[in-house]
Amino acid sequence: MLNLGKNAENYRRNQITTASEGQLIIMLYDGALRFLSRAKSAVEEKNIEESHIFITKTRKIVLELMFSLDMDKGGSIAKNLYELYFFINQELIKANIKKDTNILDNCHIILKELRETWKQVVEKNKMEKIEAEKK
CA angle 41, 43, 46 (to 5 degrees): 110
In a domain, 9, yes or no: no
Q: What is the 3-state secondary structure (H, E, C) of 49-77?
A: HHHHHHHHHHHHHHHHHHHCCCHHHHHHH
pLDDT, average across residues 112-123: 95
Residue 14 lies in a domain: no
Could you tell me if residue 5 is inside a domain? no
Give the confidence band of 34 by pLDDT, cuts at 50, 70, 90. very high
Domain contains 38: yes
pTM as predicted? 0.82
Q: Using the 8-state DSSP alphabet, how is residue 3 labeled?
A: -
Beta-carbon-side half-sphere exposure of residue 11 (alpha carbons within 13 Å): 6
**Domain assignment present for 8:** no
Mean pLDDT score of the chain: 89
CATH of the domain at 44: 1.20.120.340
Cβ(19)–Cβ(115) under 8 Å? no
Q: Is residue 11 part of a domain?
A: no
Q: How far is CA 97 from CA 43, 91, 107, 110, 120, in A?
A: 11, 10, 15, 20, 34
Looking at the 3D structure of the chain, how many domains does it have? 1
pLDDT higher than 70, residue 41: yes
Reported as a pLDDT band with limits 50, 70 and 90, residue 18 is low
Strands (E), 6-102: none
115 located within any domain: yes
**Domain residue limits at 98:** 20-134
Looking at the domain assignment, is residue 66 inside a domain? yes
